[in-house]
């Protein structure tokens, strides 16, 4: 059984919108995804999906940049048949066979079977390999054998939880970044307190290893609270952390997350304020929190 249930929710919109554009710009030789889940899902019009991909597709229609985005084009075609493409499918479709290979990690065999089946139904796909194991240790072990032109998509939600060997997904990002690889990491949080803990964890780790150059864009619901959860559209805040990307990709991450703030300005999630704000971690180790509720 596949347990990833957040497909098509609002945080997927930020993550997948950015992923498609950045992959097209960076043109990696190898794509590695640490937490792949499935390639394709059946949509069921839940309130969370309405607030997520359905809201995006309706509103992006009014914005030329968003309407021309790869994500809009790929998902609107697939959603017309009632399906949503997860990140493995989006990556395969964007990269086609311009990439030497894609490696997909997941603990769930069912998710990896879904990816392999999806790949077999496509006219053009890159060579793929699926790996059914813990991807923290799996990727850390693989790093030295990968070329610098590898793109690592790290998508765990929790980036500060240690595995049995004491490593975290932020350690994976740091290891790959130090080898010069392109990295995109996605994380989520439910309260401002959680966000502060994560921002501090990231800033301190980066300071310790001397990583100064990174891009961070967070999208947060204005309904978020300091330490309680009053509504749950999936996740109340999420962030993207990128290293070793081109200036063009870094600008896209910031610009597109701000564009999403624009198209969510009057949004509702059930009866709750569904509007969003944009934030980032300050590079001077001062954590900038725009709102405390």
Ligand X SMILES: C[S@@+](CC[C@H](N)C(=O)[O-])C[C@H]1O[C@@H](n2cnc3c(N)ncnc32)[C@H](O)[C@@H]1O
Binding site for ligand X (CB under 6 A): 4, 15, 35-37, 86-87, 105-108, 111, 134-136, 155, 157
Q: Cβ closer to ligand X: 188 or 274?
A: 188
CB 283, min distance to ligand X, A = 26
Identify which of residues 3 and 247 has a Cβ nearer to ligand X in the complex. Answer: 3
Per DSSP, the residues of the chain read: ------TTSHHHHHHHHHHHHHHHHH--SEEEESS---SEEE----HHHIIIIIHHHHHHTT-HHHHTSHHHHHHHHHHTTTEEE-HHHHHHHHHGGGSSEEEEE-S-HHHHHHHHHHHHH-SS---EEEE-S-HHHHHHHHGGGS-TTEEEEEEEE-SS---TTS--HHHHHHHHHHTT-EEEEEEEESSHHHHHHHHHHHHHHHHHHT----EEEEEEETT--SS--S--SS-SEEEEEEES--HHHHHHHHHHHHHHHHHTTT-EETTEE--EEEE---TTS----S---
Closest CA to 242 of 280, 284, 189, 201: 280
If the CB atoms of residues 107 and 229 are measured against ligand X, the closer one turns out to be: 107
Q: Which is nearer to ligand X, 105 or 151 (CB)?
A: 105
Closest distance to ligand X from the beta carbon of 20 (Å)? 11
| Closest approach of ligand X to the CB of residue 108, in Å | 4
123: exposed, middle or buried (Cβ count in 10 Å: 0-12, 13-18, 19+): exposed
Query: CB-wise, 134 or 273, nearer to ligand X?
Result: 134
Q: Tell me the β-bridge partners of 37.
A: none
In the complex with ligand X, which residue's Cβ is closer, 162 or 285? 162
Nearer to ligand X, 153 or 203 (CB): 153
């Amino acid at each position: 059984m596949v347990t990833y249930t957040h497909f098509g929710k609002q945080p997927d919109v930020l993550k997948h919108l950015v992923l498609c554009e950045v992959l097209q710009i960076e043109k990696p030789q190898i794509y590695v995804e640490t937490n792949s889940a499935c390639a394709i899902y059946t949509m069921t019009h839940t309130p969370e999906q309405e607030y997520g991909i359905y809201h995006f597709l309706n509103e992006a229609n009014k914005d030329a940049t968003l309407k021309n985005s790869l994500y809009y084009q790929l998902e609107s075609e697939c959603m017309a048949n009632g399906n949503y493409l997860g990140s493995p499918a989006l990556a395969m479709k964007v990269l086609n066979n311009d990439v030497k290979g894609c490696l997909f990690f997941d603990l769930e065999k069912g998710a990896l079977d879904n990816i392999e089946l999806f790949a077999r139904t496509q006219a053009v796909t890159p060579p793929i390999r699926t790996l059914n194991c813990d991807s923290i240790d799996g990727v850390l072990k693989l790093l030295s054998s990968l070329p610098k032109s590898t793109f690592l998509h790290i998508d765990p939600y929790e980036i500060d939880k240690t595995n049995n060997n004491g490593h975290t997904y932020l350690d994976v990002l740091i290891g790959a970044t130090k080898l010069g690889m392109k990295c995109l990491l996605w994380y989520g949080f439910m309260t401002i307190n959680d966000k502060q803990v994560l921002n501090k964890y990231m800033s301190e780790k980066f300071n310790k290893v001397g990583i100064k150059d990174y891009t961070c864009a967070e999208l947060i619901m204005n309904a978020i609270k300091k330490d309680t959860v009053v509504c749950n559209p999936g996740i109340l805040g999420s962030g993207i952390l990128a290293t070793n990307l081109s200036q063009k990709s870094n600008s896209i991450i910031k610009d597109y997350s701000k564009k999403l703030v624009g198209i969510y300005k009057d949004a509702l999630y059930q009866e709750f304020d569904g509007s969003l704000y944009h934030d980032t971690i300050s590079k001077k180790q001062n954590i900038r929190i725009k709102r405390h509720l």
